[in-house]
Amino acid sequence: MNSQTQYDKRYSFEFFPPKTDAGVEKLKRVQQELAAKSPSFFSVTYGAGGSTRDRTFQTVTQVKQNTGISTAPHLSCVGDSKSQLGEILQQYVSNGIERIVALRGDLPSGMGASIGELKYASDLVAFIREQTGDHFHLEVAAYPEMHPQAKSMNADLDAFRAKVEAGANSAITQYFFNIDAYKFFVDSCEKRGLDIPVVPGIMPIINYENLVRFSQMCGAEIPRWIRVRMESYSGDPTSVLQFGEEVITSLCQSLLEMGAPGLHFYTMNQSAPTLAIWDNLDPG
């Protein structure tokens, strides 16, 4: 983990583009509350296949203007053509955007088998470098517990290497609760000479049922001791929130102490759960 300590700690907050006017107004409040913590950047997700193309762009420009803080769009390649991706990149260059989270994406069911011209995130990173040189700081995804479709952990590490070699500057992990998985992932990267910061993705626990559902899809393991405690709080959302806050605060503290280069919070467009953890950590 030593090479991780050379980077300054960086903190970032992720949003999704709201669908309704009420959601837009709520996000304006949430972004102001989180902007007060002076994060390194905000990021805004992108619906694979372009389902949020306009809303992601509008949200990114609105957050950046409203807060004055660097804001990074996510961009996925599955289901989008090269010419569509090229147009989006030019739009971001023209609007002063300097960081992108580059992903393969998952096509929502019902969108057919249309894969697009670029198959993997490493192809998208190479395409962005080809089109825009070093203009963007490129973030990519990392999976301490292995991407669910990967053939093996080694194959997934090879896929991660391909993204780094194509020009990624840093990575954000899928969320996890098992700190050893992160430690082993970072150690494996170091052994392979992959020396980019790997920032843990942090999922505040807001609703246990949703967390279980989402964890099954994305391959994040919820340890038995957390499940047992959470299930004993069935029908008691206050205890779920309280215990979730303690568990995630402790995870963040351990990660920072072991030399993680920062934290990226999946806020789910809510400020309170992330701010509760932030205030417990008191990183500044």
Q: Contact residues for ligand FAD (CB under 6 A)?
A: 45-46, 48, 74, 76, 101, 103-106, 120-122, 141, 147, 149-150, 155-156, 159, 162-163, 172, 174, 201
Taking the least distance from each CB to ligand FAD, the nearer of 243 and 264 is 264
* Minimum CB distance to ligand FAD smaller for 51 or for 242: 51
Minimum distance of ligand FAD from residue 197's CB (angstroms) = 13
Contact 79, 49 (CB under 8 A): yes
Least separation, in Å, of the C-beta of 76 and ligand FAD? 5
Decide whether 34 or 126 has the Cβ nearer to ligand FAD: 126
Instruction: List all residues 6 or more positions away from 114 whose beta carbon is below 8 Å from its beta carbon.
Output: 49, 79, 107
Residue 225 sits at the vertex; the CA angle it makes with 224 and 227, to the nearest 5 degrees, is 60
Can you name the residues that pair with 170 across neighbouring β-strands?
Answer: 139
Supply the minimum distance, in Å, between the C-beta of residue 218 and ligand FAD: 6
Residue 17 Cβ, how far from ligand FAD at the closest point, in Å? Answer: 10
Distances (CA, A) of 147 to 109, 156, 160, 204: 19, 7, 10, 20
14 part of the active site: yes
Strands laid side by side in the 71-76 sheet: 198-199, 170-173, 137-142, 99-103, 71-76, 41-44, 10-15, 262-266, 201-202
Residues that are catalytic: 14
